[in-house]
Structure 1
Amino acid sequence: MISPMIPRCRYRVDPLRSYELAVAENPLNAPGGSGNRRKRSLGVASKFWKPGRTLWVSFLGAPDRRLKMSIFELASQWLDLSGANLEIDLAEDDDKKATIRILTGPHLPHSLSDIGTDALAYGEDTMCINVPLGHDFFENTVLHEFGHALGAEHEHRHPDADIPWNEQVVLQSHMAAGWTEADVRQQILSKIDDVGLRKTAYDRTSIMHYAVPQAFTHGDWEVALPQQLSEKDLEFMRLAYPHD
């Protein structure tokens, strides 16, 4: 059975609007305008925040303080461990002007996040976390969703991944759990187009990689659920948000 707690990324912004927001936030997001600064573990180069800025994080609905601080401390690892030129800080609860606005609770259908500057398109939540504190998936989910919020895409969709998917099994398993075929292809199976893409090598240990059970692939191929940031995840942050 597929867990409803699998973290996702959210694709809801019209492409033109997404582009306009990204370039207004950081002109280096424009195609051809950022040189080597667009390299990433697998980030969406057109949706990076402006290096050096502070992203304000607000929790909607005033959840338990222990839960909030656990989420914030995990999210801070992306920057504390990488030394990237970006900061996050806590805003007051229910601050609709905060950059990242988080809903929490097991009643939420999915954990998901807008990708980078797409968060600027809406006034409501930009991230949902439905995994409770103490759950085996908690750390993975929080780190994964904040990776999206900072501009990272799913690593298993890396153009060099070459995962030997058993597509029929993947589709059947996820659709039986309520995913649509479009969901499965967009979140898992489809590779990101390698058109002018700047990237580091594919990383099976990335926090942005889904767990891949043996049953989902042909041959002897699987990936365990990542539990911490990899070295390439940290490299991604430094390349996406340089100090120069």
Structure 2
Amino acid sequence: MALPQDQPLYYCSTYPRSLPQLRPDLSFDRQSAILVSASKWVNGTVLHYHFLADEADHGDQMDVVRAAFQEWKDLGIGLSFTEVTQASESEVRIGFQAGDGSWSYVGRDVLGIGATERTMNFGWDLTTPYGHTTARHEIGHTLGMPHEHQNPNAGITWDEEAVYEFLGGPPNNWPRETTFHNVLRKLDPRQVEGGTWDPDSIMEYQFPGGLILAPEAYRGGITPPGTLSADDQAYMRYWYPPLDGDDLPELVPFQSAPLSLTPGQQADFAFHPDASREYSVGTFGSADSVLVVFEEVDGELRFLAGDDDSGEDRNALVKVKLVAGRSYVVRTRLYYAWASGQTAVMAW
């Protein structure tokens, strides 16, 4: 969504990603599968969001964010979004601190942020068309999407000093390191899926003319529509496909459940413990995977425990106290398998 020419361009600033440290002897394909997946949520996750602000002061802004969450959900994805009144009950905490810009941590990085700290902020008015775009964009980061103009496949050649000068001035007033991190720095090819660049993505900045030297078609600037592009929608549906319903296969204690998954695929199981005790839930096989145990609370799944074994010579394993008579769901997503692709999950 293009801003009127007499209005300044405000830009989102993300925090540096928390990426796993991978051994250099791992294959490129294995490293790429891990790094691309590291920001993604297990499908079926309910993300709880909380506003660190007063409804009386920011009600209109909150409504824009709520509508943006619903717009992502309306794609038919397997993630859900629930607003909660307590910060301690949320994974996503949203502030409206003016002067601090608009930003979000990326994907599962929000889990490493203190329970009362912001994981997302909006520093300008969201009730304008550009503000609606900002809300969609920041939620895209929370779902695991990076900035599209940093895609190394975009082939963008910047007039770097012009970019530093433009973003170093008002209204953004960015230091050079912030400009480099959010604009000029190209993503590691291991972090990028596919071979194309989507200039219409909700994750693409709007740029005025005079900053891009190549491709020639964009020397006059980039003006994305500010909505979820067709590629954005396909990307989300790939990572978070619609769930098949609540009729999940049962995970039986001490019985291994074999899996035949391709990279990115996920298996889901219901688990009803027959005794209240500490259980071990783990994966088996030559594969990198993430494993999460959820508990059903008031009809909604809440995160209980999880483990990610990517890049390590071990399998995912969680040890957690489970209660007889309660309902749990176990979800495991495969990042990469370097043997037969045959893996398994078991609770004991």
Coarse TM-score class (shorter-chain normalised): 0.7 to 0.9
- Give a deviation string over 1:21-48, Cα, whole Å, max 9, x none: xxxxxxxxxx84997xx8xxxx952111
Aligned length: 222
Q: Does 1:112 align with 2:103?
A: yes
Which residues in structure 2 correspond to 1:81-230 (within 5 Å)?
Answer: 81=75, 83-92=76-85, 94-105=86-97, 107-122=98-113, 123=115, 124-177=117-170, 178-195=173-190, 197-199=192-194, 201-218=196-213, 219-221=216-218, 222-230=221-229
Cα distance between partner residues in 2 of 1:171 and 1:202? 23
- Structure 1 residues 125 and 44, CA gap change in structure 2 (3 angstroms): farther
What's the CA shift for 1:229?
0.6
Structure number with the bigger relative contact order (C-alpha 8 A, sep ≥ 6) is: 1
Does the CA-based 8 Å contact 1:2-1:173 persist in structure 2? no
- Residue among 34, 56, 66 paired with 1:72: 66
Deviates more, 1:194-203 or 1:231-240: 194-203
**Poorly superposed stretches of 4+, deviation over 4 Å:** 1-4
Q: Which has the higher helix share?
A: 1
Following the alignment from structure 2 to structure 1, what is the Cα–Cα distance between the partners of residues 179 and 147?
12
Q: Is the 8 Å Cα contact of residues 64 and 135 (structure 2) preserved in structure 1?
A: no
- Deviation for aligned residue 1:16: 4.8
- Greater shift in the superposed pair: 181-190 or 152-161: 181-190
Report Cα offsets for 1:37-81 as digits up to 9, x if no partner: x8xxxx952111110111011101223333222211112212212
CA RMSD after TM alignment: 2.7
**Deviates further, 186-195 or 220-229:** 220-229
Aligned 8 A contact 1:131 1:137 in 2: no
> 2:77 and 2:223 mapped to 1: Cα distance?
27
Measure the CA separation in 2 of the matches of 1:8 and 1:109.
Answer: 10
Distance 2:235 2:195 in 1: 8
Structure 1 unpaired stretches of 5+ = 20-30
Question: Is the Cα–Cα contact under 8 Å of residues 140 and 207 in structure 1 kept in the other structure?
Answer: yes
What's the % identity of the aligned pairs? Answer: 26
Deviations 1:125-175 (A, max 9, x none): 100011224234201110110000000000001111012311110011112
> What is the CA deviation profile of residues 100-125 of structure 1, one whole-angstrom value per residue up to 9, with x for unaligned ones?
100014x2421000001110111211
Structure in which a larger fraction of residues adopt strand: 2
Instruction: Give me the TM-score of the superposition, normalised by structure 1.
Output: 0.81
- The alpha-carbon distance between structure 1 residues 98 and 205, as it changes in their structure 2 partners (threshold 3 A), is same
Runs (5+) with no aligned partner, structure 2: 1-5, 23-28, 244-265, 267-348
| 1:12–1:51 distance in 2 versus 1, CA, 3 Å | closer
Higher-Rg structure is: 2
